[in-house]
Amino acid sequence: MGRGRHSVLAAAVTVVCAVTLLGAPGTAFARALPDPAPPAAPASSSAPSLPPSTSPSVTLPPDQDLEAVRAELDKLYHDAAVATDAYNLADEKAKKQSAEITDLNEKIAGEQRKLDGLKERAGAAASAQYRTGGLPPEVQLMLGNDPQDFFDGAGRLLQSQRATKSLIEETTRAQQDLELYAGDAADHLRELEAGRKAKAAAKKRIKQRIKEAERLEAKLEKRQRERLAELERQAADQAQSAWLSTGILDELKGRASASGRKAVEFATAQIGKPYEWGAVGPRTYDCSGLTSQAWAAAGHPVPRTSQQQWQQLKRVDIKDMRPGDLIIYFDDASHVGMYVGDGAIVHAPRPGRTVTLAGAGTMPILGVVRPTTG
């Protein structure tokens, strides 16, 4: 046998062996991860001990001590609002991560089918090698005495080598893609679990603070509850008057855009519906649930939480405010209302209240954002 023939034969055997190894059983490949189960309700546990209540005895003189009660209630409901924003954010992330995991699982299943097909092709090549005594037909032809058969076989062998190389590369890519998707899905599952824990912790804190506020209010007599409501109205009126005394209404000349009018119409149509933390309608709302659904109805979806709305939407100067814009309140952006014109907002205030109109200046304004630029 000539030296050239020996070289070609060696190359052919090497290629066939490579295909055989790829088709060998026992190779470990990444498996599809299960679709995420719907979030389970957090396990019940005993509530942590609460700090001593600062609420006064019902026998104390009402005015001065009811002011302290009002301040304490404001603090408790504000804390519940902050926790509600954290809950809503964790909920949004969980929905997004669940959808991404489902998509990755579909990709994993597709790559696994592709890899199984490639392994089947490699196995068929190995079986053909076995049937011909360890040598492919092209090599057998090269070992014959006919020169033409030799050249024909050499050409077919080159084609076979290219096909085998392509098969090896494709199989390698498929396995790498499969492992990448599986790794991404595992990362998303870890993030999803962390988000569920954060959501459960926020839910627990919301319920704890609301229960604490209700317990404080329950200690009051009817006349004291009425007086407390009057003190709240007075505080709101004073804050609104102070805001209006700056002459802000004289500066507000902006007219609502078409989408802004639609958002205002939707939001004001919800007046009278109860506040419920985590709710986005249609029967109950929390503050950002109302504003996000109003703008979704207007054809311009906005972020779910008041903090995200403050962070992601375009900020405008308060003197440029127009109906449909969102007013973000408190330094931590824990509350949001929609400006409807004439110095008023529509908003979902807090647990125990309903969607209502209020003065835009009744709470400390952090800033104003606009969902659209049109």
Average pLDDT over residues 41-59: 40
Residue 316 half-sphere exposure, CB side, CA atoms within 13 Å?
19
CATH assignment of 252-370, among 3.90.1720.10, 3.40.50.620, 3.40.50.720, 3.40.440.10? 3.90.1720.10
Report the pLDDT value the prediction gives residue 180, as an integer from 0 to 100. Answer: 80
Which is more confidently placed, 42 or 372? 372
The CATH class for the domain spanning 3-25+58-217 reads mainly alpha
CB 58 within 8 A of CB 160: no
CA dihedral 247, 360, 241, 317 (to 10 degrees): -30
For 81-136, the pLDDT digits (tens) are: 999 999 999 999 888 888 888 887 887 887 788 777 777 777 776 666 666 555 55
Indicate if 347 belongs to the active site.
yes
Indicate if 287 belongs to the active site.
yes
Kindly report, as residue ranges, where domains of CATH 1.10.287 are found in the chain: 3-25+58-217
pLDDT at 37 over 70: no
On the 0-12 / 13-18 / 19+ scale of CB atoms within 10 A, 14 is: exposed
Average pLDDT over residues 146-160: 56
Kindly report, as residue ranges, where domains of CATH 3.90.1720.10 are found in the chain: 252-370
Q: For the chain, how many helices (H) and strands (E)?
A: 9, 6
Distance CA 246, CA 223 (A): 35
Which is more confidently placed, 126 or 297? 297
Which is more confidently placed, 50 or 323? 323
pLDDT at 288 over 70: yes
Which is more confidently placed, 17 or 254? 254
Report the pLDDT value the prediction gives residue 19, as an integer from 0 to 100. Answer: 34
Among the ranges 31-40, 59-68, 130-139, 334-343, which has the highest mean pLDDT value?
Answer: 334-343
Which is more confidently placed, 136 or 355? 355
Report the pLDDT value the prediction gives residue 109, as an integer from 0 to 100. Answer: 81
Report the pLDDT value the prediction gives residue 335, as an integer from 0 to 100. Answer: 98
Report the pLDDT value the prediction gives residue 150, as an integer from 0 to 100. Answer: 52
- Least confident residue range of 72-86, 188-202, 344-358: 188-202
Mean pLDDT of the chain: 79
Q: Which residues of 246-278 are buried (b: 16+ CB within 10 A; e: fewer)?
A: eeeeeebebebbebbebbbebbeebeebebbbb
Report the pLDDT value the prediction gives residue 154, as an integer from 0 to 100. Answer: 54
Report the pLDDT value the prediction gives residue 52, as an integer from 0 to 100. Answer: 42
For 155-212, the pLDDT digits (tens) are: 555 666 666 677 777 777 777 877 787 787 788 788 888 888 999 999 999 999 999 9
- Least confident residue range of 13-17, 79-83, 338-342: 13-17
- From the list 78, 188, 287, 300, the catalytic residue is 287
Which is more confidently placed, 213 or 138? 213
Report the pLDDT value the prediction gives residue 343, as an integer from 0 to 100. Answer: 96
Indicate if 300 belongs to the active site.
no
